Structures are given as structure tokens and as C-alpha cells.
Amino acid sequence: MATLSAASASQQHAADVNVLVRRQRSLWGDALYRLKRNRAAMAGLAVVLVAAVLAILAPVIAPYDPIRQDTPNSLMEPFWGNPKFTLQQYPLGSDQLGRDILSRLIWSARISLVVGFVPVTLVFLIGATVGMAAGFYGRWVDNLLMRLVDVIYAFPDLLFLIIIMATLRGTILGNLLGGLVLMFVAIAVVGWVGMARLVRGQVLSLKEKEFVEAARATGATNRRIMFRHLFPNTLAPIIVSVAFGVPSAILAEATLSFLGIGIKPPTPTWGVMINEGFVVFSTTPWPVLLPAFCISLVMLAFTFLGDGLRDALDPRQRAR
């Protein structure tokens, strides 16, 4: 009764104050509305979309082959540092092997975005399944899975990544696509733990709710309860976690490649470019500064977008 009158009162209130009278929105419609009003998140989204278009069209728009060497024209200055610049030259200069930096930057966006999204998909699949199973079935399933999670969680991500990458780089797996496949596996192996903990926590509290009891009363199977009732309710925090998983995967790739144990040269990635350019850094900084700028921009963009998604999907958890 109380809730009913409160609800009707708030509807009345909404109709009174809001001349525009917004249509009633679902959780998702509401979240989208909030996200669209968040300028930082929209700017982030714009940068991500531009990077995505560049990445997809890399073979078409990159002016040169990113791994073609042209040693006579190595370490050329970018156009603003080169008074005699003509359009026939490398627009952002060349690295110490004479490779076109602009083309390498564009092709690197490809690797970064793929590394951002593929492992996160794996993390979602593994983490959500394990978390759901542990939270729903409880008892020994929960105990077994969570002890495993605890051991992995006690370890800093980067340390674990370094061990996996460094030891398996020489294997067949490590040589697939220049180390890209191993990178996916490594990030997924390290990352699913956080997702599993998140989903398990959600499921633990959700499964005591009335709607699950109601579903069970109508004769729903365990599977149906998990997929149709519990899973959709865990989706909002999962989306936020995925949104932050993407930049951290990109960061992991860049850091490992920078340390020389990530993607194998000559495949261009921003981390590899910084690693290779560091040798000549004190005399020719651009081959290092440009990819450093790209990483920073993409990281900021994804973080703003993730912050926006978190604020939109769960306004109570706002950081500020």
C-alpha cells in the first residue's frame, strides 16, 4: 500500500514538474540517456570510434607498408620539424629502420583494439560462467572455484602476465600471429578471476530475492533461473567491468611489448614502437613520443567511457 501510493505520488510529481513529460524508460534506456549527457564519456566514445575506423581501414589509409624498411631515409623528422617537407616523404617521419611512423601508428591501433576486445570477451565467458556456477550452486563448487580464484587474485596482474608471456613465448602458441594469440590467452587467464568474483557476489545476493523464489515456484529449471532470471540482473556491473577491462588489456599489451616480452617485432604496436625507438630516444624523440601519445589518448578515452558507463548504469556508485 505504502509503495503503491509512493509510486503514484512520484508519477504525479513527475507529471507536474516535467513539462516535457519523458516517456517511462527501461533501465537501459535510462542509462543510455544518462550516458549521452556525459560529455567526457561521449568524447571518449568519439576517440574510440575514430581509432576503430582507423584500425579497420588500416590497409586502405596507411600511406606505406608499416614494416617496409627504407634505411637510406631513416630517422626523418616529422613534417613540422622538416622545412623541406614534401608530400612524397613520411608525414610523421621514419624510425631508425626507415619505416613510416604514421603507417605504423595506424596499424598499431589495430593490434591495440583487438587486444582490448578479444581477451575481454574470453574473460567474460570464463568469468561469468565460473562466477555463476560458484554463486548458484554454492558448497563445494563454490569452495573449489573460489580457492583457485584466491590464489590467482593474490598475485599482481602484471607479474603473472610477465611470467606467462616470458615462459611461453618460445612455444608454438607464442608464435601464432606474432605472439598475439598468447597475449589473448595470458590476459584472459589473469583477468577472468575478477569477473568471477564480481558475478559470484551478485548471484549470491540475487538468488535470495523473491523473483528467484517466484521463478522456482512456477517450476523453472536451474538453467532457466540462471540464464533468464539471474544473468540479466548481473549485466549492468558486468558491462562496467568489461568497459574497464578493455583499457587494462590495452595497457597490459603496451607494457609487455615495451618490456620486450609482448608482441614480437616487426608487428607494429605502440609498445613495440616505444621499445624499439628508445635506443635513439635522446637524439630523435619522435618515434617514441608519438606512440606514447597514442596510448595515452586511447587509455584516457576508454577510461572516460568506462566512468560514464558506470555512472549511467549505477548512479549510486558514482565516484564523485
Binding site for other proteins (CB under 8 A): 150-151, 154-159, 162-164, 166-171, 247, 251, 254-255, 258-261, 274, 278, 281-282, 285, 288-289, 292, 295-296, 299-300, 303, 319-320
Cell 542509462 belongs to residue = 31
Shorter beta-carbon distance to other proteins: residue 166 or 220: 166
Shorter beta-carbon distance to other proteins: residue 196 or 288: 288
Shorter beta-carbon distance to other proteins: residue 132 or 292: 292
- Considering the complex, what minimum distance in angstroms separates the CB of residue 144 from other proteins? 14
- Considering the complex, what minimum distance in angstroms separates the CB of residue 284 from other proteins? 10
- Considering the complex, what minimum distance in angstroms separates the CB of residue 258 from other proteins? 5
- Considering the complex, what minimum distance in angstroms separates the CB of residue 16 from other proteins? 30
Question: Measured between alpha carbons, how far is residue 320 from residues 31, 105, 311, 316 in Å?
Answer: 18, 35, 10, 10
- Considering the complex, what minimum distance in angstroms separates the CB of residue 192 from other proteins? 15
Shorter beta-carbon distance to other proteins: residue 212 or 274: 274
Shorter beta-carbon distance to other proteins: residue 106 or 161: 161
